[in-house]
């Protein structure tokens, strides 16, 4: 689905994965439930949309759509920072057993509506079209 911010028409989706510090297995029970409740709220506030979300005991998977002008890094940083603050305030055991909630790193992969091959062929054929005219 195409979106627009006034300057750009875009359809940018990203697969994001991040882990708790030391890969601690803390994303269970009420911690998991709260995380899944607060992330969509914060994503919307950041101008992003969480299309899919799932957790395992030691990592988070998100499929996010966001404005490329704002940047996926700002969205991920905002989601991790906000969720860390809320979870650590609500679950004191996270504060006492971990120096911070999340690792500094994360995985980010783009997800396209067309395949890499289709884009390559489209780009390769651009010059062919202009030369034929």
Which positions are annotated as active-site residues?
122
Taking the CA of residue 37 as centre, how many other CA atoms within 13 Å lie in the half-sphere pointing to its CB?
8
CA distances (Å), 112 to each of 7, 63, 91, 115, in order?
A: 21, 12, 37, 7
At 78, phi and psi to the nearest 5?
A: -65, -40
Phi, psi of 3 (to 5 degrees): -125, 165
Task: Let me know: does 58 contact 24? Beta carbons within 8 Å.
Answer: yes
**Helix ranges, 14-115 (H):** 29-45, 72-90, 92-97
How far apart, in whole angstroms, are the C-alpha atoms of residue 75 and residue 22?
A: 22
């Amino acid at each position: 689905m195409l979106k627009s911010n006034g300057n750009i028409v875009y359809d940018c989706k990203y697969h994001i994965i991040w882990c708790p510090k030391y890969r601690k297995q803390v994303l269970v029970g009420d911690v998991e439930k709260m995380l899944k409740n607060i992330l969509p709220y914060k994503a919307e506030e950041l101008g992003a949309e969480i299309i899919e979300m799932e957790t395992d005991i030691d990592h988070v998977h998100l499929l996010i759509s966001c404005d490329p002008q704002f940047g996926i890094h700002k969205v991920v940083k905002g989601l991790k920072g906000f969720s860390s603050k809320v979870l650590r305030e609500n679950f004191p055991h996270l504060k006492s057993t971990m120096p911070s909630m999340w690792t500094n790193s994360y995985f980010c992969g783009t997800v396209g509506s067309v395949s890499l091959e289709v884009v390559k062929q489209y780009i390769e054929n651009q010059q062919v079209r202009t030369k034929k005219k």
